[in-house]
A and B are shown apart, each in its own frame.
Chain A
Amino acid sequence: MAGFSELIKNFDKTRDYVRDFFIYGCKVRSDFDRKSIRTYGDEKRRVESWIGDYMRYDDSVRGRSVSISVDSGHIPENPLYNAYYSKSFTDNDIRLHFLITDILQDGKSRTLKEIVDVLNTDYGMLFDEQTVRNKLREYVDEGIIISEKQGKALYYSLTSDNADSFLQDFKGLDDALKFFSETQQFGIVGNSISKILGLKNDLFFIKHNYIIHTLEDILLPEILAAMDEERYVSFRTFSEKRRKKGSVPETENQVIPMQLLVSVQTGRRYLAAYIPTLKRFSAFRLDYMKTVKKGKICENYDALKAKFDRNISHCFGVSFGMRREIGTVTPMKITFFVDEEKEQYILDRLEREKRCCTLEKSDENLYTLTADVFDPNELMHWAKTFIGRIVRIEGGADSVRERFYSDIARMNRMYGGDEDEHIQ
C-alpha cells in the first residue's frame, strides 16, 4: 500500500468510516460503494491502527466484514480520540513547534527577526521570515504564544500557563482530568491535557457510554460560537436512507442555532434550531452533519430563543412534531397498573423518567400520566418500556394509539401468544 500514512488531513472522511464501522458493526468492502477500494483499504488500516484490539472481523460470504465492537462501559479511555490525534503536518510544522518553544523558554520576549536569527545561528535551521511569522500567528491563536507590541515591533513570548504547574497548584485536578476526559462533551480536550501530563485514567468507567459522540465534537465549537454571537449557521446533512433511496444524499441547511440536545439513552445528539424558511423549530442529528459555518447575525435571536425555551418544555425528547401551535392535539393520557404495596419501584421509575409529563393517582393501583407534548410518538417509545402495565391510552393522535395496539398484537403473535412458534 504505497503512500499510506497513519495521519489524516480530512476529519470528515474518517468520521464517516468510523461511524459506519462502529454503528452498523457489519460492513464489507462492497458496502462502501461510494468510496474507492484504495480509500477503503487506507481508512480501514488507519482505524485498525487506532482502535487496535477493538476491531473485530467476521468472514461472511461477501468478503470480510469489519466492525468495531467495544464494551464501552468497561474501557478506561475512548479509543476514538485517536482520530483527533492523527492530524497530518509538514516537516516544518514539527521543527518550528519544538524550536520556537525552546527558544522562548527562557521567558524573554523576542521579535520575529530575532527568532529567525536564533533558529539559524543556534540550531542551524534556515527559515524564511514569512514561514516563521505564520507559525507564530498560528500559535498566538492557539494561546501557546503571546504577542505584544512594543513601539513599532511585535514581540513574542511563551505563555506562562503550563500543565505541570496547574497540576501542582490545583489539588484534585489529576482526578478531575481522569473523570472529565471520558465524559461529554469535549472529553477529547481533557484527554489531551492528561496525555501531556502522562496521566492515565485508572479510576473511572463510564456506563451508557456513547464513545462515537467524540467524532461530532469537531462540529461544536462553530455552533457554540454562532449561539454566543447570535448568528445563523449553515451546514450540510447527509442521510444513509436518502442515499439508499437513490435521491441526493446531502442537503444544505441554513438555521438559527438554539441549543444542543443530548439523549443519554438513544445515543443521539442534535442541534435544535429555528428554520426560517419553514418558520418552525426542528432538531438535526449531529452525526448527520458536516461542514458547519457561522453566518450572518440574526436580528431577532432573543425573541426566537424565548419562544424556543417555551416550546422545548413540550418536547418529550427532541421532536417538535408537526403541530404548528401547542394545543391542537389533546394531551395524551396513559394509565399504568402499579401494585402499590409491592411495586413502589415502578412508581419511582415513573417519577424519575416522566420528564415534562405529570403523574397522578387515578384509582386504586392505577396511575395516570398526562403528556402535553408535540410528538406523542416519542412518548410511546418510552411507554413501551412499561409493556404489561398499560391499562388505558387516551388522547394524543389516533394514529399513535392505533399503532400501539397493532404493535402489541404483532408482538403477541411474534412471541407466540400461548404457543411460542420460535421455541422448539
Chain B
Amino acid sequence: MNIFSEIYGTYFRIAARLLENEVTDEKTVSETVRREGFRDSVLFLPRKLIPNGEDWGLFSRTPDGDLKRITKNAPVKTLTKLQKMWLKSKLSDPRIRLFMDDETLSALEKRLADTPPLYRREQFRITDRFTDSDDFFNEQYIKNFRTALEAVKHRKIVYIEFVSGHGNRVNGKFVLLKMEYSPKNGKFRAYCYLLRNDRVKSSGIINIGRITNIADTGRIFRTPVSIDDYFSSRKCSSPAVIRVTTARNGVERFMLEFASYEKHTVRDLETGEYTVELWYDRQDETELLIRLLSFGPVIEILAPQHLRRQAKQRIKRQAELLQQLR
C-alpha cells in the first residue's frame, strides 16, 4: 500500500479514460493526452497507446483506421484500501458533517466498518490554530454552511444578515463566488459580491460563522463573473518589498512561512540577502504587517511606504515603552 504508485498515476488515468469507449481514434487520444496529461505527455504517451509495435497493446487498429480497445468492458473505478482508509479517517473529522447528514454518515461508517483509518486525529496536533474556530457541530452553522454552498454551486442570489468584524449588523443580497477555508483560523468564509438593484456594488468576504440569517431568494445571478476579477479587485496595488537577511536562518524561515504568497525573489550574490516582493490581499494587510514584525530585525520592510510607516510607528512606540521600563 503506497501513495506513490502508478495505479493512481496520470498515465494510467488517461489510459482508463480512453478505454471507456469500445472504439476511439488517434485524434481523441491526442486530445485526451493534451487535456489530462502533463505538459510534455503528448511527446511520450500517444506512442504507447496507438498501435505501432512499441505500444502497450491496449488498442488494436480497425480496418477503417480507428482504435479498438482489447478489453471487454470499460475499466472499473475500484477504490483501493488506501482510499477507503482515507475516507474512514475523514469520518472522524467534524467538518464531514458539513457535507453529509447523520444518516449518510452512519451508512458510510457501516460500509467502511472493516477498514481501519489511515490516521487517527490524535496522532496530529496543530500547534498554533486560533481557538475561536468555527463550531462544526452547531446545527445552525451547518445549515447556513449548506445554504451558502448551494448558493456558490448554482450562483443563487441569497439574502444574508451577518455581524461584521467590527460588530456592525449588515444585511443585503449577495452572490457567493467561492468558499474559502483557513486552517490557521479554522474558519470558512465566502467570497461574495454585494448586490444593489441586481448589480454588483462591491466585493467582500463573509465569515460563515458570523451569519445570523441566510435565505435563498429563488433567483440566479446570471451576469458572468470572473473569480480572477474578484481577486484583482482585492489585491494590493503594489507588492510589499521585503529585505530578508541571512541572520538566524532568516531566509529559510521567511521563505517557508510566506510560501503561500505569490512572490518574486532576487538574491544579492555578495551578501546572500534576498529581496522579496509579496502580493497580498488588501484586507490582509494588518495580518501581513504583524507577521513581518515577528521576524524582528532579520527582515526589513522596504515598500510600500504606508506599510513601512505603520511598522515604524509600532516599533517607535515599542522603543518608547521599553525606554520607560528600563
Contacts and interface: CB of A to CB of B under 8 A. Distances in A.
Interface of A: 5-7, 11, 22-26, 45, 48-50, 52, 56, 58, 60-62, 65, 67, 69-74, 82, 84-89, 91, 93-95, 97-99, 101-102, 105, 122-125, 141-144, 158-159, 161-164, 166, 169-173, 175-176, 179-180, 183-186, 188-190, 192-193, 195-197, 203-212, 217-218, 220-221, 224, 227, 240-241, 259-268, 272, 312, 315, 317-318, 337, 345, 348, 351-353, 355, 381-382, 384-392, 405, 407-412, 414-418, 420, 422-423
A313 to B, nearest CB: 11
B133 to A, nearest CB: 9
B64 interface: no
A265 to B, nearest CB: 5
A6 B40 contact: yes
Given A211-B259, A408-B318, 16 more contacts: A6-B44, A23-B256, A23-B259, A67-B265, A72-B260, A85-B10, A87-B5, A94-B58, A166-B79, A176-B96, A189-B82, A220-B119, A260-B125, A352-B131, A352-B132, A386-B290
B179 A204 contact: yes
Contact of A408 (B70, B79, B261, B315): B315
14 contacts: A6-B40, A89-B9, A98-B15, A159-B78, A162-B78, A171-B104, A183-B183, A185-B124, A189-B118, A204-B179, A266-B128, A267-B257, A267-B259, A389-B321
Contact of B296 (A193, A210, A264, A411): A411
Nearest to A406: B297
B265 A94 contact: no
B293 interface: yes
A94 B6 contact: yes
Contact of B12 (A97, A260, A266, A391): A97
B101 interface: yes
Given A94-B15, A97-B7, A408-B318, A185 B260 contact: no
B266 interface: yes
B172 interface: no
Nearest to A22: B259
A95 B19 CA distance: 12
A266 B179 contact: no
Interface string B53-64: 000111000000
B178 interface: yes
Contact of B315 (A72, A102, A188, A415): A415
Contacts of B34: none
Nearest to B272: A244
Contacts of A411: 296-297, 315
B149 interface: yes
Contacts of A352: 130-132
A123 B70 contact: yes
Interface in B130-163: 130-132, 149, 152-153
B233 interface: no
Given A218-B3, A411-B296, A385 B318 contact: no
Contacts of B300: 414-415, 422
A124 B70 CA distance: 9
A262 B76 contact: no
Contacts of B184: 207-208, 264-265
B72 interface: yes
Nearest to A315: B127
Contact count band on B: 35 or more
B3 A188 contact: yes
Contacts of B169: none
Contacts of B290: 385-387
Interface in B273-304: 274, 276, 279, 290-291, 293-297, 300, 302
Contacts of A173: 99-100, 108
A102 B73 contact: yes
A204 B136 CA distance: 17
A263 B322 contact: no
Contacts of B40: 6, 45, 49
Given A26-B266, A73-B260, A142-B7, A414 B130 contact: no
A157 to B, nearest CB: 11
A266 B46 CA distance: 43
Contacts of B131: 351-353
A417 B86 contact: no
B250 to A, nearest CB: 12
B113 interface: no
Contacts of B39: 48-50, 52
B127 A263 contact: yes
A407 to B, nearest CB: 4
A328 to B, nearest CB: 23
Contact of A206 (B56, B78, B183): B183
Contact of A179 (B12, B119, B181): B181
B172 to A, nearest CB: 22
A158 B44 CA distance: 31
B249 interface: yes
A63 to B, nearest CB: 11
A97 B152 CA distance: 39
Contacts of A162: 76-79
Given A84-B3, A337-B321, A410 B297 contact: yes
Contact of A261 (B125, B181, B276): B125
A142 B5 contact: yes
A388 B125 contact: no
Nearest to A160: B78
B78 A161 contact: yes
A241 B248 CA distance: 11
Given A264-B129, A415-B312, A86 B10 contact: yes
B264 A56 contact: yes
Interface centre among B2, B44, B152 (most CB of A within 10 A): B2
A205 B300 CA distance: 30
A101 to B, nearest CB: 6
B181 A207 contact: yes
Nearest to B83: A193
